Structure 1
Amino acid sequence: MDLKIISWNIRGLGRRKKARAIRNMVNERKPQFLFVQETKLSSFPQAVLRSMGCDRRFEFCWAPAEGSADGLISLWDPNAFVKTLDYTTKRIVVVIGKLKGSEMECGMMNVYGPTIEVEKDGFFKEILDEMRKHNVVWVIGGDFNAITSMEEKQGLSWNYTAMENFRSFIQKAKLMNLPLADGLYTWSNNREPPTFVRLDKFLVNAAFFEGYPNLKQSLLPKVISDHNAIALENVVYKKDMRPFRFYNYLLSEDGFDEMLVGKVKNFQAQSSTNGI
């Protein structure tokens, strides 16, 4: 099944060229879902949607900015995603529904994490609380303002406690931190010497792979913002070209050991029967 979700910290939608950049990306990439962070808009006039090229093609749910670095908006194509519920908090936009061609009920969560370290535990707890309210498969994307390992940052220093807290949250939420293709980092401070960090990412439930087994997360070229946009898409491979993938997360799934033992015994029995 086709799937493309794009997330982008735009760093302000009040400037017309930022809205045009989104319009160009939407026209070129044709996502079914779009997560935007840091709109910096306390209201969302129709003129902005028109400038983005999203006023007729997309439905949306947005959280107003309460400061100079806030504001989120999630947009989706109603022909590809049927919404049943949406709501917002200061740092989260939640949209629940079904993607066309799938019976899987999905929660699409657009997030913008705090930059202040002492606020991050509360942010992760808020995400967990929202996830537990709904029995759905989750796709969570946005600017987390956090990293999971030293490999996700180049320059300056690392906060090891903060990295451990982020990893702990991902584990508790039973989410998967997908690898990033076409690049290593999503943000740069554009200074000398530069600092590069992977602040933006998608996290998904393992169950999401049942409907979308060829998920790929990739870095898009940098335009306008100091953040790269990222894309999550279901890549359809030609016959005999589908790559093998195994995620360490699966080792901790309930029933994995029993399933593996059963598969091995079944293979051994078939091999014995066939004289292999």
Structure 2
Amino acid sequence: MDLKVISWNVRGLGRLEKAGAIRNLIRVNKPQILFIQETKLSAISPSLLRRLGCDANFEHLHSPAEGSSEGILNAWDSRFFTLSESVISRRFIAVFGKFRGHDKLCGLVNIYGPSIDNEKEDFFKELLEIINAHNAIWCLGGDFNAITSRDDKLGFSWNFQMMEVFRSFIQDACLIDLPLHGGAFTWSNNRDPPTHVRLDRFLIDNDFLLMFPNANQCLLPKAISDHNAIVLEHKVPNWGKKPFRFYNYLLLEDGFDELITRKIADFHSNTHCADPSSLIKILQGAAKHWFTNHKNSLLMSSFDLENRISTLELKLQQGSSPSATLKEILELKEKLWAQLRRDESIWLQNSRLR
């Protein structure tokens, strides 16, 4: 399953230009989950969501701004992520639910960390309490307003105490800071001389990485905010159409050789073309169709067959309908022998031995 989460500190959603920038971001990247920081809005209307490019399948939660600052927006495609509970704070929104096709609870946290150093330690303590209180797979993203090392900042001053606070939080929460591709910094003050800092990032835990093993985070081109948007993406490799492979055991199955013989005869009687590639395509399609119709009876689990035989033999020993049970046992044993022969043929062919 592919995954794409975009996080962006937009510095205000009130202007049409900002909404248009997000709409273009969604149109080009097609994320299933959206983290927006600094909306600077007290409420998010359905019309604004549509203007942002979120269709009717998107659900959202919003932490309102206080005055003309802050404000956090989470939006997600309900076909991809099903919400079960949430925690909304002034500095973060945590949503808990399950991804389509997965049974494990996942926590997605959109973060807008405090810019004042005196508030950062308490903020990370609160965030750690939320993580420890829930047995979930974790993905945190947003503007943390914190750095982990001197490499995260190109400027003239560093607060080493706050660096240690942030590093301790990452370590205590057992989170992974994936490498950032496409650039080293996510914010710039646009002054001369400039200061560049990596304030935005995604942090995930090991279970999230096991679920999405190809996950990586990338820097997106800077638009009209002084922050770059970042994307956490997991893309399943596309190996193209699965090639057709013929297994030799099919030649021993009842009815298969008659099918192939009939298809060859029909080909010669209905066409004057002697092109062998056309015949091969016809036989390939016939073999695929025959296998699809007989797959359930051809590829049974030998383990299941053995368990069914064992259960029936136990009934037979207890004197329960001996004649009918014995007949069924003999039929199942015949199927088991046939399945073991198929398995051996498949393993032999896969090994490329002659």
2:144 corresponding residue in structure 1 = 144
Map Cα deviations across residues 249-276 of structure 1 (whole Å, 9 max, x no partner): xxxxxxxxxxxxxxxxxxxxxxxxxxxx
Distance 1:5 1:47 in 2: 22
Distance 1:154 1:101 in 2: 42
1:233 corresponding residue in structure 2 = 233
State the secondary structure of the residue aligned to 1:190. Answer: coil
Query: Does residue 17 of structure 1 match 2:17?
Result: yes
Q: What amino acid does structure 1 have at the position aligned with 2:80?
A: A
Distance 1:107 1:48 in 2: 26
Map Cα deviations across residues 18-76 of structure 1 (whole Å, 9 max, x no partner): 01111111111011100000000012223321211225231001100014320000000
TM-score, structure 1 length as denominator? 0.84
Asked if 2 retains the 8 angstrom alpha-carbon contact of 1:109 and 1:140, the reply is yes
TM-score, structure 2 length as denominator? 0.66
Give 1:60-139 correspondences, 5 Å limit.
60-139=60-139
Q: What amino acid does structure 1 have at the position aligned with 2:189?
A: N
Per the TM alignment, residue 146 of structure 1 is displaced from its structure 2 partner at its CA by 0.2
Moved over 4 A (4+): none
Q: Which has the larger radius of gyration?
A: 2
2:308 corresponding residue in structure 1 = none
Per the TM alignment, residue 102 of structure 1 is displaced from its structure 2 partner at its CA by 2.0
1:188 corresponding residue in structure 2 = 188
Distance 1:73 1:219 in 2: 20
Larger RCO: Structure 1 or Structure 2 (Cα < 8 Å, ≥ 6 residues apart)? 1
Distance 1:7 1:47 in 2: 21
Q: What amino acid does structure 1 have at the position aligned with 2:77?
A: D
Asked if 2 retains the 8 angstrom alpha-carbon contact of 1:46 and 1:55, the reply is no
State the secondary structure of the residue aligned to 1:207. Answer: helix
Distance 2:215 2:112 in 1: 23
Asked if 2 retains the 8 angstrom alpha-carbon contact of 1:104 and 1:211, the reply is no
Q: What amino acid does structure 2 have at the position aligned with 1:26?
A: I
Per the TM alignment, residue 142 of structure 1 is displaced from its structure 2 partner at its CA by 0.4
Distance 2:101 2:182 in 1: 29
Query: Does residue 3 of structure 1 match 2:3?
Result: yes
Asked if 2 retains the 8 angstrom alpha-carbon contact of 1:81 and 1:100, the reply is yes
5+ residue gaps, structure 1, are 240-276
Asked if 2 retains the 8 angstrom alpha-carbon contact of 1:175 and 1:206, the reply is yes
State the secondary structure of the residue aligned to 1:227. Answer: coil
Give 1:42-61 correspondences, 5 Å limit.
42-61=42-61
State the secondary structure of the residue aligned to 2:124. Answer: helix
Distance 2:7 2:191 in 1: 24
Give 1:123-272 correspondences, 5 Å limit.
123-237=123-237
How many residue pairs align between the two structures? 239
Asked if 2 retains the 8 angstrom alpha-carbon contact of 1:61 and 1:87, the reply is no
Distance 1:231 1:163 in 2: 24
Structure with the higher fraction of residues in helix conformation: 2
Structure with the higher fraction of residues in strand conformation: 1
Per the TM alignment, residue 238 of structure 1 is displaced from its structure 2 partner at its CA by 6.2
Distance 1:59 1:230 in 2: 21
Asked if 2 retains the 8 angstrom alpha-carbon contact of 1:216 and 1:235, the reply is no
Query: Does residue 30 of structure 1 match 2:26?
Result: no
Distance 1:57 1:13 in 2: 21
Per the TM alignment, residue 129 of structure 1 is displaced from its structure 2 partner at its CA by 1.1
Per the TM alignment, residue 85 of structure 1 is displaced from its structure 2 partner at its CA by 1.0
Distance 1:28 1:79 in 2: 19
Percent identity between the two aligned chains = 54
Q: What amino acid does structure 2 have at the position aligned with 1:96?
A: F
